[in-house]
Amino acid sequence: MTRTVILAALIVVWQIAAVSLGPLFLPQPLAVVFATITLFGNGTIELALRQSMTVYFIAFGTSLAIGIPLGLVMGGIKPVGDAVDSFINLFNSMPRIALIPLMVAWFGLGVSAKIAIVILLAFFPIVINTYNGVLNTDKDLLEAATSFGASRGQLFTQVMFRSALSNIITGVRLGASVGILGVVVAELFTAISGLGGLIVNYGNLFELNYYFVPVLVLSVIGVAISEGLKYVEKRLTPWKQFQR
Amino acid sequence: MAPKVVVRNLSKSFPLRQGKGFTTLNVIEDLSMSIDANEFVVIIGPSGSGKTTLLKLVDGLIPPDSGEILIDGTTHPKPGPKMGFVFQSFRLMPWKTVMGNVMFPLQINHLDKRTALGRANKYITEVGLTGFENSYPSELSGGMQQRVGLARAMALEPEIMLMDEPFGSLDAQTSELLQVELLKLWQSKENTVIFVTHNLDEALLLADRILLIGARPSRVEEEIKVPFRRPRWTYDVRSEPEYPVLRRHLWTRLREMVSKSGTFPGVNVSPAVTAPLAGEEWTPRMAERS
């Protein structure tokens, strides 16, 4: 209810601002609705969406497939963790967007460069959260499991991994949202394509009514992915719902 | 009959951070004891004596510096299904249900699924948690959580139960209730129990024999046979004529130990560095506190 009111108020403010500023600065809400119908109708959004999502899912999938196992190994085998830890932190703390020109130099302007850029952004939060999750395993629980005769392998799979699970999911969520950002940035910096490409094109042409369409589509995707992962988290960590 | 657990001249110290280097904190020194099969032994001692450390040594969770521990005549105990540990802080897996937690040690020890399920159900029933099999620990009260802890340790059907102040963090009413239930369970199982506490009434209610452990560095200072007839839940042990005598004696001895030993024996540092907080047990981790 409150949400609906706020939304309505926002649209009213938008309408007033759009009328007073003119379409070159801010399109009217209705113009955006018509632009949405046009762009969906002629297949522009579908094509762009397909390009963007291909990059996104390949890159995000790769980040998961490497990031989670690496984080687990780092946490489970101390020498590996100690050795790799500082490098991961170094990469994580540097502004990785600064490495985009390097990715372009290595991979060109095509799809592979875009994938590399998204991985660059999405990979680190996944590794780091997985690693920290394993490291933060309750020592008392490990001791309890040891007292029942658990082997090192059992400690890892039954205690460390399980207790790291919610951290891992946090990392996955961070990686997922920063990955969307990565897709747009990649599409701006390399060969123009996808939803990010539409944004640049319409922005440069001052066709702001069209420009808002990919922006809104990206927001919806962002929300959908984060809600989807929240659902996964609820399913995988059912005990959290009852935590007092 | 050969004793179940024999401890000979056991010593254990922990490194204690001091300035830039380390000194050692002698927690247990030259401790010997012998426990018979099916005996219920309560170890009592001042806070900071190595009671928990002693249990961990017997379980084989940590190695001694010197001396030996024999379980059924075999040295170098290893953690496993022969011994069941019950912890003061419960230590249940928050991501497992009651059933999952009780099943955990059984799965770790590769019992086949049918046997394991049967055992888990049996012990969940015995500790009175029927109907809570699918609850998570966070949904249970402290008393119920420790019932899970009991069922988990007992489901292994261990020959020796190691209990580290299991009721210490529960309210008085709940802990009295669980003491009686423990007595009943133990009576029907006939296994050996080593039970650590600093609650005198608990010790007198439960024990066949009380071992009084001195302040750090600890050794057994005195052993007291508890004469009350079993089963003890059928009458009020506290109204027995020997009860106040024994209790007063234990209390006096404990007070002597604490005052005689100074606050922090076993290490030459100012008390402030290692002082456990009120009511807190000494742990190796605490040695790192400064």
> Assign residue B73 a region: left if phi > 0, alpha if psi is -120 to 50, beta otherwise?
left
d(CA A32, CA A209): 5
Low-confidence stretches of chain B (pLDDT < 70) are: 1, 260-290
Which is it for strands B209-213 and B192-197: parallel, antiparallel or unpaired? unpaired
The backbone torsions φ and ψ at residue B225, rounded to the nearest 5 degrees and listed phi first, read -80, 130
Contact residues on chain A for B109, CB-CB shorter than 8 A: 148-149
The DSSP secondary-structure symbol of B198 reads S
d(CA A25, CA B16): 69
pLDDT at A92: 85
pLDDT at A118: 96
CB spacing of A149 vs B108 below 8 angstroms: yes
The beta-carbon neighbor of B136 closest among A148, A149, A242 is A242
Protein fold of A43-242: MetI-like fold (1.10.3720)
Closest of A155, A129, A134, A128 to residue A72, by C-alpha: A134
Rg of chain B over Cα atoms, rounded to whole angstroms, equals 19
DSSP string, B248-273: HHHHHHHHHHHHHT-SSTTS-S-HHH
CB spacing of A148 vs B109 below 8 angstroms: yes
The DSSP secondary-structure symbol of B217 reads S
Cis check for the bond before B158: say yes or no (omega within 30 of 0). no
d(CA B240, CA B223): 20
pLDDT at B290: 35
d(CA B23, CA B14): 9
Q: Are A103 and A116 in contact (CB under 8 A)?
A: yes
Residue B128 lies in a domain: no
Contact residues on chain A for B94, CB-CB shorter than 8 A: 239, 243
In the sheet with B160-164, reading across from the earlier edge strand, the strands are B83-86, B160-164, B192-197, B40-44, B209-213, B220-225
Query: How many contacts, defined by CB atoms under 8 Å, are there between A and B?
Result: 62
- CA angle, A211 then A217 then A223, to 5°: 140
Contact residues on chain A for B95, CB-CB shorter than 8 A: 162-163, 165, 237, 239
Q: Are B162 and B80 in contact (CB under 8 A)?
A: no
Instruction: Provide the residue count of chain A.
Output: 244
pTM as predicted: 0.83
CB spacing of B87 vs A140 below 8 angstroms: yes
The beta-carbon neighbor of B138 closest among A141, A162, A243 is A243
Question: What's the per-residue H, E or C state across chain A?
Answer: CHHHHHHHHHHHHHHHHHHHHCCCCCCCHHHHHHHHHHHHHCCHHHHHHHHHHHHHHHHHHHHHHHHHHHHHHHHHCHHHHHHHHHHHHHHHHCCHHHHHHHHHHHHCCCHHHHHHHHHHHHHHHHHHHHHHHHHCCCHHHHHHHHHCCCCHHHHHHHHHHHHHHHHHHHHHHHHHHHHHHHHHHHHHHCCCCHHHHHHHHHHHCCCHHHHHHHHHHHHHHHHHHHHHHHHHHHHHCHHHHHCC
The DSSP secondary-structure symbol of B193 reads E
Residue B137's alpha-carbon distances to A184, B140, B281, in angstroms, are: 44, 5, 24
d(CA A55, CA A90): 26
Residue B233 lies in a domain: yes
pLDDT at B260: 64
- Total of domains in chain B: 1
Please list, in sequence order, all residues whose beta carbon lies within 8 angstroms of the beta carbon of residue A50, skipping any fewer than 6 positions away.
none
Residue B21 lies in a domain: yes
Which of A239, A240, A242, A243 to mutate against chain B (most B CBs within 10 Å)?
A239
ipTM above 0.90, yes or no: no
Could you tell me if A1 lies within 8 Å of chain B, comparing CB atoms?
no
d(CA B243, CA B118): 41
pLDDT tens across the length of chain A (244 residues): 889 999 999 999 999 999 999 888 899 999 999 999 999 999 999 999 999 999 999 999 999 999 999 999 999 999 999 999 999 988 888 888 889 999 999 999 999 999 999 999 999 999 999 999 999 999 999 999 999 999 999 999 999 999 999 899 999 999 999 999 999 999 988 888 999 999 999 999 989 999 999 999 999 999 999 999 999 988 888 887 755 4
Closest of A89, A98, A59 to residue A71, by C-alpha: A89
- To the nearest whole Å, the CA of B255 is away from the closest chain A CA by 31
B75 SS3 class? coil
Domain range for residue B230? 5-82+158-288
pLDDT at A55: 96
Please list, in sequence order, all residues whose beta carbon lies within 8 angstroms of the beta carbon of residue B278, skipping any fewer than 6 positions away.
none
pLDDT at B266: 45
Q: pLDDT tens digits, residue range B119-166?
A: 999 999 999 999 999 999 999 999 999 999 999 999 999 999 999 999
The backbone torsions φ and ψ at residue B41, rounded to the nearest 5 degrees and listed phi first, read -110, 130
- Which tokens hold the place of B142? 């402290």
